[in-house]
Chains A and B, each alone.
Chain A
Amino acid sequence: MTTAINHQPPRPSFLKATFAVTWKDLTAEFRSHELFSAMLVFSLLVILIFNFALELDITTRQSVTAGVLWVTFAFAGTLGLNRSMAVEKDRGCLDGLLLAPVDRSAIYFGKAISNLVFMLIVEVIVLPVYSFLYNVNLFNPGLFLVILLGSIGYIAVGTLLASMAIQARTRDVLLPILLFPVAVPVLIAAVKASEGFLAGSDFSTIYAPFSLLIGYDVIFIAVAYMVFDYVVAE
């Protein structure tokens, strides 16, 4: 056994490493627009197709709004998650990240935060377009909070599963197959809570799905923190 080299090379803090990964993703994406433009165009097409396919009257439109919105967000989110991890895998960059002397969950949080930013930007653009096309008022702070919590949960579990799926040759197909069953609770809760806020229901009727959203977010962020190192290990 050789003697350990005593000098301690500097190691960044967890927050600095997380910020570095997020900064890298945002800088690369704001330059290339590859991921964001794909997500946005896909989202707009989905709500446009729903608009023509359903031809709903004004009352029915209100009732399907939450469902259409979350289907759109979920599909667009999956597209973004796949692309975000593919960038790391294609040029061997994931190995570059894993070689860094940082807590690997910092890499997860960095990727998750940038994925969340992309998803939220798409949602901010989709909401007024949907409102215009379907003639539905979506300006509701409660709805915005549900969208934020639902997106956090979806991205938390999605980033973890995308890191797992990226190792497979069939990653594009594998991610939705893995993700949708696990994300069902967060999607159902998000749809129910969104419906409640849009219908102006009493908070006591929204409380259960709202609590489920918060619980799901906390649980999956904690699970990802604990298992990410094993997920990316060979």
Chain B
Amino acid sequence: MITVHKLVKRFGMKTVLRGLDFEVQPGEFVAIFGPNGAGKTTFLRILASLSRPSLGEVSVAGYRLPDQAAAVRARLGVVSHLPLLYGDLTAEENLRFFGRLYGVSNIESRIMEVLEMVGLASRRRDLVRTFSRGMQQRLAIGRAVFHDPDVMLFDEPYTGLDQDASAMLDDVLRSVAAKGRTVVMTSHDLMRAEALATRFDILSRGVIVASATRKQLGKSKLLSFYEKALTD
């Protein structure tokens, strides 16, 4: 579903990604961990077609980036630590707007379906700027799944959320993954990601330094796997 080969990303003289290789099978839920500045957000922005690779090959859902970016974007849902929502529009107006941009045909019925999925049906006519951070993040997920994408990218979705909001987000993420979607998530929250993901990759200094599936990890703790990968 996602294939990345020898990916390099430079910003001027600074090299952020250094020949990164990465592959995700359909239906996998991959969590990417790494210290600050490891290149996680840059990597996700390239997969989302928001940034161009300096070198290397990237394909998502079988379409090459950046040449076939529009085809990739149609099959992609992205959630970042920013909500990507308009505060002066209501929840349903935000979804209606993005539904129009994605050419969704049955917008009105889809709005109710998605708002019920993220638990915001009763707040559908409220302005998004009156929402708490947790509610905004749930609506952001609703926006990302609105066009029923095959691949979901989550960039630090738990940033700024309290425990209750994070727990609620876990449920929404589980329901997103349960539909057989391919999910790639970056996070600093090892515990939450451990409960959700089927594979764990460690990104450090621009390359994947370790990778293990839930099965391979067995009973060993994700934290020790993470620490070992960074010290090796």
- Judge whether B3 and A91 touch: CB under 8 Å: no
B52, CB-defined interface residue at 8 Å: yes
Interface string of A1-39 (1 = CB under 8 A from B): 111110001111000110111011001110110000000
Chain B interface category by residue count? 35 or more
Closest Cβ neighbor of B49 among chain A residues: A99
User: What's the dominant secondary structure at chain B's contact region?
Assistant: loop
- Judge whether A12 and B103 touch: CB under 8 Å: yes
Q: Do A27 and B83 form a contact, CB below 8 Å, given A2-B59, A20-B97?
A: no
- Judge whether A12 and B86 touch: CB under 8 Å: no
- Judge whether B48 and A99 touch: CB under 8 Å: yes
- Judge whether B89 and A27 touch: CB under 8 Å: yes
A11 to B150, CA, bound (A): 15
- Judge whether B84 and A28 touch: CB under 8 Å: no
Q: Do A23 and B88 form a contact, CB below 8 Å, given A2-B59, A99-B48, A99-B73?
A: no
- Chain B residues whose CB sits within 8 angstroms of the CB of A20 once the complex forms: 97, 100-101
Closest Cβ neighbor of B60 among chain A residues: A2
Which residues of B from 110 to 158 have beta carbons under 8 Å from A?
A: 127, 143, 147-150
A233, CB-defined interface residue at 8 Å: yes
- Chain B residues whose CB sits within 8 angstroms of the CB of A28 once the complex forms: 86, 88-89
B15, CB-defined interface residue at 8 Å: no
Which residues of A from 83 to 139 have beta carbons under 8 Å from B?
A: 87, 91-93, 95-103
B74, CB-defined interface residue at 8 Å: yes
Interface string of B64-85 (1 = CB under 8 A from A): 0000001101111010101111
Interface string of B34-77 (1 = CB under 8 A from A): 00000000000100111110000001011100000011011110
- Judge whether A17 and B100 touch: CB under 8 Å: yes
Closest Cβ neighbor of B62 among chain A residues: A4
- Chain A residues whose CB sits within 8 angstroms of the CB of B143 once the complex forms: 96
> 10 closest pairs, A vs B, by CB?
A4-B62, A92-B82, A96-B84, A10-B103, A101-B74, A20-B100, A100-B101, A12-B103, A28-B88, A9-B74
A57, CB-defined interface residue at 8 Å: no
Partner of B75, one of A5, A19, A102: A5
8 A-B pairs besides A4-B62, A20-B101, A99-B49 with CB distance below 8 A are: A1-B62, A9-B147, A16-B100, A31-B127, A87-B86, A92-B83, A102-B101, A234-B45
- Chain B residues whose CB sits within 8 angstroms of the CB of A92 once the complex forms: 80, 82-84
Partner of A100, one of B2, B87, B89, B98: B98
- Chain A residues whose CB sits within 8 angstroms of the CB of B87 once the complex forms: 91
Tell me how many residues of A have a C-beta within 8 Å of chain B: 36
- Judge whether B150 and A5 touch: CB under 8 Å: yes
- Chain B residues whose CB sits within 8 angstroms of the CB of A2 once the complex forms: 1-3, 59, 61-62
- Judge whether B3 and A1 touch: CB under 8 Å: yes
Closest Cβ neighbor of A229 among chain B residues: B69
B217, CB-defined interface residue at 8 Å: no
A29 to B89, CA, bound (A): 9
- Judge whether B102 and A91 touch: CB under 8 Å: no
- The contact sample of 7 A-B pairs, CB cut-off 8 A, is A5-B61, A17-B101, A20-B100, A21-B101, A93-B85, A95-B84, A101-B102
B105, CB-defined interface residue at 8 Å: yes
| Nearest CB of B to A164, in Å | 17
B93, CB-defined interface residue at 8 Å: yes
Q: Do A32 and B88 form a contact, CB below 8 Å, given A11-B74, A20-B101, A99-B48?
A: yes
